Amino acid sequence: MDSATPPENWEEGNLWSQVLAQTQYALQTGALQPIETSCEVIQQVGLEFLVRISSSLNRKAQAQAQPAGAAFNPFLPYDPDLFVADLSQTHLCLLNKYNVTPHHLLIITRAFEPQATLLSLPDFAALWLCMNQLEQQKIESLGFYNSGKQAGASQPHRHLQIVPLPLAPSHRLPIQAALEKLELLSVNGAATVWQSPMLPFGHAIVRFSATPTATDAHTAYLLLLSQLGLNQPEPPPYNLLVTRQWMLVVPRRQEQFGSIPVNALGFAGSLFVRDLAQLAQLKQLKPLQLLAEVATKPACNLP
């Protein structure tokens, strides 16, 4: 193979082209190591959960494991072969080294900031810049955040994530049906907070009536945290999911149930298992029960 030549940095409005070019380059250099999976669908109460099966998840876990007492941060310095774009003075965009879905992006802070502290307006500005750039290229996307290890975060350095939609060719967003059947939870000024009766765990949802700005998204985020009792400088663990149409926050109480781990994508309806034995466990347990076991129970202010 000829030596790879890194593409030039992105131009305004051309993030998707830069993602495609950097992906090709990172595959050539070996910096990008996609996790191969097979997929199966588990249906439950009108929802079709997308389950990816891959023993390669063990490889990712082994690669991320560090000796006791070792201080390791893969983002300081980051691998330049995974670099996609400078977003702001505080944030940049990388390819996710061990991606399960193609073109999985990480939005990281240039300086170390803890993963378990509150997201800031600059965090949302960087996330929104990427999502808006993708939208201009007709690419829908899902942003998400794992706040703390119990919420599925693999690194303590602040990183938000974006995956293009659909999550699979025939599955735009498996949890979408639950987000179309909502009940009023509360009204806070002009903002309305919703919940879905199809989701048997504590959560809160905001729907955006118009194209939101980064400030709108940050305000909605703080509102959802307040609704769920998470509005603290270092809140209890939670998962955040966000599109340009809605935002969902789920408080967490444990990282996994049995041997099956769950991160934010689980609450989008996309689950991961390491082998057929875990798949059999999931089928017996059912996806919604798995999510209920790792999330908090509905709070007292939920109907």
DSSP annotation of 298 reads P
For residue 65, the model assigns a pLDDT of 52
Summarize pLDDT for 60-82 with one digit per residue, the tens: 555 555 544 456 899 999 999 99
Residues 6+ apart with CB under 8 A from 299: 202, 228, 229, 251
Fold classified for 35-65+73-294: HIT family, subunit A (3.30.428)
Q: Are strands 246-251 and 238-242 parallel, antiparallel or unpaired?
A: antiparallel
| Tally of CB atoms within 10 A around 124 | 25
Summarize pLDDT for 131-163 with one digit per residue, the tens: 999 999 999 999 999 999 999 999 999 999 999
In the numeric block, which tokens belong to residue 38? Answer: 């097979």
In the numeric block, which tokens belong to residue 99? Answer: 């991606």
Q: Which whole number is the average pLDDT over 166-191? A: 88
Residue 168 phi/psi, 5-degree rounding, is -150, 160
pTM for the full predicted model:
0.91
For residue 68, the model assigns a pLDDT of 46
For 134, the enclosing helix (H) or strand (E) is helix 121-136
- Ordered by start, the domain boundaries in the chain are 35-65+73-294
